[in-house]
Amino acid sequence: MFTPKYPPPDTAPASAVIQPQATAPAPVQAVPVPVAPASKRPAVQLTPGSALALAAGGGAVVLVVGAVLVSLLLAVAITGVSVAVVAVVLRLLIKDLSKGR
């Protein structure tokens, strides 16, 4: 059931096989590749103080984004609970109206 099924081998006659041409292709001329000039700007070197500041800044960004996402989730949860409460109250009001009270 899970064994592969291979197609049947090619049954074309041997005379129909295309033979490669006897002529060799023309040689390709090498084109020089332009080299990018070396940058004259100095490389960025992190000192221990700047590395610490970078890590603190990254941590602050993570905390702010996390706080925003948690507040959005909390807003959605509060909205869902309030909609559920309103649905229960409306259901009770409609039930009371149908009884004729």
Contacts (Cβ under 8 Å, ≥6 apart) of 46:
54
> Residue 11 has which token pair?
């049954």
The domain limits of the chain are 74-101
Q: Where are the alpha helices (DSSP H) in 12-47?
A: none
- Mean pLDDT along residues 91-101: 87
Average of per-residue pLDDT across 71-94: 97
What are 88's two structure tokens?
């229960």
> Residue 35, by phi and psi: left (phi above 0), alpha (psi -120 to 50) or beta?
beta
If you average pLDDT over residues 70-98, what whole number do you get?
96
Tens of pLDDT, residues 46-67: 888 999 999 999 999 999 999 9
pLDDT tens-digit series, residues 4-50:
887 777 776 666 556 556 666 667 777 777 777 777 777 778 888 99
Give pLDDT, residue 95.
Answer: 93
